[in-house]
Structure 1
Amino acid sequence: MREIKQEDIIQAVKTLCIEANYQLPQDVRNAIDQASQIEDGQLAKQTLSILKENAKMAQSLSVPICQDTGMACLFVEIGQDVHVQGSLQDALQEGVRQGYQEGYLRKSVVDDPVFDRINTKDNTPALIHYEIVEGDKLKIIVAPKGFGSENMSQVKMLKPSDGVEGIKDFVLKVVEEAGPNACPPMVIGVGIGGSFDYVTYLAKKAMLRDIGTHHNDLRYQQLEEELLEKINQLGIGPAGYGGKTTALSLNIETYPTHIAGMPVAVSICCHVARHKEVIL
């Protein structure tokens, strides 16, 4: 049994919160570069150029890439041979609190979702997803999720008879309705299967995959490629000004489901698809 100190977890999460908001991942940078090469419209090219410059300045000046520094979503893989000294839950939340305080990141979490809506002033509580895995490591991914794009995400309980075409129609409908509101170019995660609650987790998890990676099933890989192509044919373009780059990527995650259902969720993130990870 390997022991991990609570303080090491706090420090790691604090650092991840700050870096995820200051640094655009390299795969996203590369995708924006590639998009700039295929765009032929002046406005689309100019918009992508501004996005690249913004990301460069944010990293060099140590300031957030976007004013919406998100609600912290944590994906935690716990090795079954790991023992945490102290409360893991408390350590993760404290890391978020310190990261948002010390990184001068905007605090956007309110305590009650309907009536009081009073800001908690430290961006906690974070949303935490746990998964128990083999081994003696602790993997933590911090993904700050802005709500301009989060509000554009949707879930639908399709019927098995809706088939693949029903999935395609729903995904395209969600992206078309999002339009410029999701601050394209987007990074899109699609979850298929599981249940009403689990499919949204799959969609979020799909967004964490590196751009250019694919589902390990060739049929879903082809569906990823087809959907991305159709989305970019919508003409929404960078920042909604028109163009060939409405989305930088679309990844699918799947899970077995009930014989009577086919849940589908679409999780949308703007080009600021921020996430950082660490393995302790």
Structure 2
Amino acid sequence: MREITCSTITDAIKKMCIEAATILPQDVEKALSQKHDEEDSALAKKTLQVLMDNAKLAQEKQMPICQDTGMAFVYVTMGQEVHITGGSLNEAIQEGVRQGYTEGYLRKSVVKDPLFERTNTKDNTPAIIYYDIVEGDTFHITLAPKGFGSENMSQIKMLKPSDGLQGIKDFVMKVVNDAGPNACPPMVIGVGIGGSFDKVAMLAKKAMIREIGSHHPDQRYASLEDELLQMINETGIGPAGYGGKTTALSLNIETFPTHIAGMPVAVSICCHVSRHKEVSL
């Protein structure tokens, strides 16, 4: 049995919140640089350069890359042999988010009541937490703060099996075209296929935070990832909606078995700055 203290978890979450808001991951930096070099449009190339310069300045000055520092999504993979000491695991995570957003001077965007009062909680809590219990003594945290300019552009649809592959393609392209410049392209796109109404949304989120350049282990889905990404970048929406061939940096697919009568599909969109941090304790 391995013990992890709540204070250790809180400290890790606090640091992750600040780093996720101020440091662009290497896979995103690499993708932006590559797309910049490949762009034919002078305006699109200039826009990508501005994004890269902004990210560099944010890291140097330890300031947010984007004014919307998002709502915190926390994914915990916890081994059965791990024992949490010194308090509540849920509270330790929430306290880490509270400290991170307060001490990092990050914008607090969470409202307590979703419909009537909509008063700001003033510390960006509560975070949304998901747990995955596995064998062993691993304890892995993925923190993905997501702005709602892009979250509002995400969609889910319960397709019928008869809609087939073309139905998937049509829906993905509809979501991208509906989003247009509103998701602050270049986008990072996750597509979930299968499971159920609730599961497929989780699949899309999981796909969205996968490393840029990775592929689904099934070659059929890997090929579909490449095809959809090419189709999206041929829309001409381009960086910030100014045109060009860099509408998305990546598109990843995650799948899960589903019912014989269904084919759920979800598309989770984030802008290039809405990325994630991971840590193993």
Q: TM-score range by the shorter chain?
A: over 0.9
Distance 1:103 1:273 in 2: 17
Residue aligning to 1:14: 14
3-state SS, counterpart of residue 108 of structure 1: coil
Counterpart position of 2:38: 38
**Aligned partners of 2:218, 2:109: CA distance in 1, in Å?**
38
Query: Equivalent residue for 1:265?
Result: 266
Partner of residue 194, structure 1: 195
1:188-218 deviation digits (Å, cap 9, x = unpaired): 0000111101110110011111100000000
User: What SS does structure 2 have at the residue aligned with 1:166?
Assistant: helix
One-letter amino acid of the structure 1 residue matched with residue 99 of structure 2: Q
1:238 aligns with 2:243: no
Overall identity of the aligned pairs, in %: 71
In structure 2, the residue corresponding to 1:219 is in which secondary structure? helix
**Cα distance in 1, alignment partners of residues 274 and 35 from structure 2:** 16
Q: 1:40-79 residue pairs with structure 2 within 5 A?
A: 40-79=40-79
C-alpha separation in 2, matches of 1:227 and 1:273: 21
| CA RMSD, 1 decimal | 0.6
Provide structure 1 residue ranges, at least 5 long, that are not aligned to the other structure. Answer: none
Shift of 1:54: 0.3
Residues 78-89 of structure 1: matches in 2 within 5 Å?
A: 78-85=78-85, 86-89=87-90
Q: Which residue of 2 aligns with 1:144?
A: 145
Q: How does 1:40-189 map to 2 (within 5 A)?
A: 40-85=40-85, 86-189=87-190
Shift of 1:184: 0.2
CA distance in 2, matches of 1:235, 1:135: 48
Distance 1:274 1:267 in 2: 13
Deviation at 1:273, TM superposition (A): 3.1
SS in 2 for 1:266: strand
Between 1:125-134 and 1:147-156, the stretch displaced more is: 125-134
Amino acid at match of 1:90: E
TM-score by length of 2: 0.99
Aligned partner of residue 46 in structure 2, secondary structure: helix
The letter for the 2-side match of 1:259 is I
> Residues 96-116 of structure 1, C-alpha deviation per residue, up to 9 Å, x if partnerless?
000000000000000010000
The letter of the residue matching 2:71 is M
Q: Offset of 1:135 from its aligned partner?
A: 1.7
Shift of the alpha carbon at 1:63? 0.2
Q: Which amino acid aligns with 2:209?
A: L
Following TM superposition, the consecutive aligned residue runs of length 4 or more in structure 1 with deviations greater than 3 angstroms are none
Q: Is the 8 A contact 1:23 1:274 kept in 2?
A: no
CA distance in 1, matches of 2:238, 2:62: 28
Aligned residue type for 2:205: K
How far off is 1:56 after superposition? 0.1
Instruction: List alignment gaps of at least 5 residues for structure 2.
Output: none
- TM-score under structure 1 length normalisation: 0.99
Residues 32-87 of structure 1 deviation map (CA, whole Å, 9 limit, x = unaligned): 00101110111000000000000000000000000000000011100111010121
CA–CA separation in structure 2 for the residues paired with 1:135 and 1:74: 20
Deviations 1:119-164 (A, max 9, x none): 0000000011110112212101111100000000000000000001
Aligned residues: 280
